[in-house]
Amino acid sequence: MREWLEAVSEPVIVLIDALALLIIVVGTVEVTFTMVRAVWNPLGARLARLTWLRYARWLVAALTFQLAADIIETSVSTSWQTIGRVGAIAVIRTFLNYFLERDVDKDLAVEREAPPPAA
């Protein structure tokens, strides 16, 4: 039974990590194109904040996927050294995710309170 679990979990971990990488790449490409366009057509403070807020959402999603892969990896590991390493990485990712989400929530609250842009 354990061999089956290890055989199934390894490709699942790789797939989840690949999805996290894809999410980071898509978000980074999106914000890069937006910022390159801003060189010729400035975004303004509100739109720039929204752009970075969107990028933060991409990063939160990717961190969540990476954390899921870490959880699966620790569930099938038998080495305390591996569990400790993956656990430390998971803690770091959890803290990053927490603070990033907190900043996103703060920016969303500021955005909700801001007056709508003039037409």
| pLDDT tens-digit series, residues 73-83 | 888 877 888 77
Q: Rounded to two decimals, what is the model's pTM?
A: 0.75
Q: Is 54 exposed, middle or buried (0-12, 13-18, 19+ CB in 10 A)?
A: middle
Q: Assign 23 a pLDDT band (cuts: 50, 70, 90).
A: very high
Alpha helices in 41-116 (DSSP H): 45-76, 80-113
| pLDDT tens-digit series, residues 50-59 | 888 889 889 9
| pLDDT tens-digit series, residues 25-72 | 999 999 999 988 888 888 777 788 888 888 988 998 998 898 889 888
- What is the token pair recorded at 101? 């989400």
83 vs 34: CA distance, rounded Å? 40
Domain boundaries, the chain: 2-113
